Amino acid sequence: MTGPRIDGARLLGRLQALGAIGRDAEGRLTRLAASDADRAGREAVAGWMRDAGLEVMLDRVGNLFCVWQAGAPGAAPLMIGSHIDTVVDAGIYDGCYGVLGGLEVVQALREAGVQPARPIAVAAFTNEEGVRFAPDMMGSLVHAGGLGVEAALATVGTDGAVLGEELARIGQAGPHEPGFLRPHAYLELHIEQGPVLEREGVPIGAVATLQGISWQRVTIEGVANHAGTTPMSMRRDAGLAAARVVTFLRDRVSRANAPTVATVGCMAFEPNAINVIPSRAVFTVDLRDPDEDRLRAEEAALSRFLDELAAAEGVTIAVERLARSGPVTFDPAILRAIEDAAARHGLRCRRMTSGAGHDAQMMARICPAAMIFVPSADGISHNPREHTAPADLVAGAQVLLDVARRLACGETGVPAA
Dihedral of the alpha carbons of 176, 179, 180, 186, in degrees to the nearest 10: 130
Position 234, amino acid = M
Distance, in Å, from the CA atom of 83 to the CA atom of 40, rounded to the nearest integer, reads 14
Number of Cβ atoms within 10 Å of the Cβ of 411: 12
Between residues 163 and 245, which has the closer beta carbon with respect to a copy of itself?
A: 245
State in angstroms the smallest separation of the CB of 70 from a copy of itself: 36
Q: How far is the CB of 276 from a copy of itself (least distance, A)?
A: 5
Binding mask 368-397 for a copy of itself (x = CB under 8 A): -----------xxxxx--------------
Stretch that binds a copy of itself, among 39-47, 53-61, 193-201, 300-308 (CB under 8 A): 193-201
Task: Give the span between the Cα atoms of 226 and 301, in whole angstroms.
Answer: 33
Cβ atoms of residues 47 and 64 within 8 Å: no
Side chain identity, residue 180: F
- CA within 13 Å, CB half, 329: 4
Nearest approach in angstroms of CB 222 to a copy of itself is 12
Give the nearer residue to a copy of itself in terms of CB position, either 170 or 240: 240
Nearer to a copy of itself, 180 or 248 (CB): 248
Q: Is 299 in the site for a copy of itself (CB under 8 A)?
A: no
Number of chain positions touching a copy of itself (CB under 8 A): 62
Q: Is 226 in the site for a copy of itself (CB under 8 A)?
A: yes
Residues 97-108 as b/e (b if ≥16 CB within 10 A, e otherwise) read bbbbbbbbbbbb
Residue partners of 145: CB distance under 8 A and separation at least 6: 179, 365, 366
Query: Smallest distance from the beta carbon of 256 to a copy of itself, in angstroms?
Result: 9
By C-beta, is 151 or 267 nearer to a copy of itself? 267
Q: What is the C-alpha separation between 244 and 254, in angstroms, rounded?
A: 15
The answer to whether 204 and 367 have CB atoms below 8 angstroms apart is no
Q: Is the dihedral of CA 207, 250, 301, 136 positive or negative?
A: negative
CB of 352 to a copy of itself, least distance (A): 10
- Minimum Å gap between C-beta 175 and a copy of itself is 34
**Which C-beta is closer to a copy of itself: that of 43 or that of 89?**
89
CB count within 10 Å of CB 186 equals 30
Of 264 and 297, which has the nearer Cβ to a copy of itself?
Answer: 264
What part of residues 246-265 is at the interface with a copy of itself (CB under 8 A)? Answer: 246-247, 250, 253-254, 259-265
* Under rule CB under 8 A, residue 195 binds a copy of itself: yes
As a whole number of angstroms, the distance between CA 389 and CA 387 comes to: 7
**Which residues here bind a copy of itself, judged by CB under 8 A?**
192-196, 211, 213, 215, 224-234, 237, 239-240, 242-244, 246-247, 250, 253-254, 259-269, 272-278, 281, 284, 286, 288, 322, 354-357, 379-383
